[in-house]
């Protein structure tokens, strides 16, 4: 099965920032209105093949990266992407084939966390944003970050357990500079690919995302926010590997436990796989797409 070519769009954010997205549509479909998955961060072959396999519109959207951009900017980029899907410009670009009311937000790792925030409306009030959760039918989160206060993100380590050496500050200095040019993507052959590992090594995730703001990290911690009853969870599928070394498995179980405490079902898919498993072509993630079909049905 060949990979469809995307429609490449750039739209103007309300803040005057240009946001780019790639839109993948089925080559052939009998459906009059196609459901849509809005995806953040990365993605494996299953995602590129989903339009034809599952008769979906897949939208991969950029967002500005930390620390040159922080919250509220990052969440505002996600909200802008959701809002754009409901615009005449998006409908024109997709020849009125897509039903944006049948929307599932999704992503992996940091993108999975953003999907949980957007789909449940978490963090919007703290960022001074109007929530867009009512526009979302479901959430499909792949090995998501979920709690910025977890010691995995806050404790300095000699080195990241999954990496062979210590990463020196000098190697990451240009990416740590908050005054460096703002970016919304990073190529896999860039030294910036080690930035995540440096963050884990130094325990500085919350500072990268919230430094210089007055917003406490718990405003974006999914499980605690669900538990205190501020949000009603959306239908959610969550998959995480028990041997994930880059985002602890406990980040997923904390979310699942919070949902269950509130009497809300969550489709929790446990696998014995490492972080990034979905990038391999051997995984189709059929259970996730079955969930998507059920919630947009």
Which strand ranges, in their side-by-side order, compose the sheet holding 236-241? 7-12, 18-24, 57-61, 34-40, 98-108, 138-142, 236-241, 267-271
- Over residues 215-230, the pLDDT tens digits come to 999 999 999 999 999 8
What is the Cα–Cα distance from 88 to 140, expressed in whole angstroms? 26
Domains of the chain: which residue ranges?
7-147+218-296, 152-202
Average pLDDT over the chain reads 93
The CATH architecture to which 7-147+218-296 belongs is 3-Layer(aba) Sandwich (3.40)
**What distance in Å separates the CA atoms of residue 133 and residue 122, rounded to the nearest whole number?**
9
Dihedral angle over CA of 174, 109, 4, 55, nearest 10: -160
- pLDDT of residue 190 exceeding 90, the answer is no
Whole-prediction pTM: 0.95
pLDDT band at 193 (very low <50, low <70, confident <90, very high): confident
Confidence of residue 4 (pLDDT cuts 50, 70, 90): low
Answer whether residue 138 shows pLDDT above 80. Answer: yes
Q: Is residue 90's pLDDT more than 60?
A: yes
Residue 11 in this model has a pLDDT that exceeds 80: no
* Dihedral angle sign, alpha carbons of residues 163, 166, 168, 169: positive
Region of 165 on the Ramachandran plot (φ > 0 left; ψ -120 to 50 alpha; else beta): beta
What is the mean pLDDT of the segment spanning 32-41?
93
SS3 category, 56: coil
Rg (CA), the chain: 18
């Amino acid at each position: 099965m060949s990979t469809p070519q995307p429609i490449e769009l750039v739209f103007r954010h309300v803040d005057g920032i240009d946001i780019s997205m790639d839109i993948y549509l089925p080559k052939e479909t009998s459906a009059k209105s196609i459901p849509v998955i809005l995806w953040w961060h990365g993605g494996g072959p299953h995602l590129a093949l989903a339009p034809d396999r599952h008769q979906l519109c897949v939208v991969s959207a950029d967002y500005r990266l930390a620390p040159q951009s922080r919250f509220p900017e990052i969440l505002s980029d996600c909200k802008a992407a959701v809002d754009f899907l409901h615009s005449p410009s998006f409908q024109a670009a997709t020849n009125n084939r897509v039903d944006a009311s049948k929307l599932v937000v999704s992503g992996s790792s940091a993108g999975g966390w953003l999907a949980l925030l957007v789909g449940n409306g978490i963090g919007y009030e703290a960022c001074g944003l109007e929530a867009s959760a009512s526009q979302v039918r479901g959430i499909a989160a792949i090995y998501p970050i979920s709690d910025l206060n977890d010691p995995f993100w806050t404790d300095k380590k000699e080195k990241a357990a999954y990496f062979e050496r210590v990463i020196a500050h000098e190697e990451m200095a240009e990416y740590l500079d908050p005054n460096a040019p703002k970016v919304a993507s990073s190529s896999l052959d860039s030294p910036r690919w080690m930035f995540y590992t440096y963050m884990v090594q130094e325990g500085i995730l919350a500072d990268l995302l919230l430094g210089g703001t007055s917003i406490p990290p718990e405003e974006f911690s999914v499980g605690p926010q669900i538990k205190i009853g501020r949000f009603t969870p959306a239908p959610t599928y969550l998959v995480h590997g028990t041997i994930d070394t880059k985002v602890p498995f406990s980040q997923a179980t904390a979310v699942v436990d919070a949902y269950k405490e509130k009497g809300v079902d969550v489709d929790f898919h446990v696998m014995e796989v490492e972080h990034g498993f979905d990038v391999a072509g051997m995984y189709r993630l059929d259970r996730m797409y079955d969930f998507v079909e059920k919630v947009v049905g």
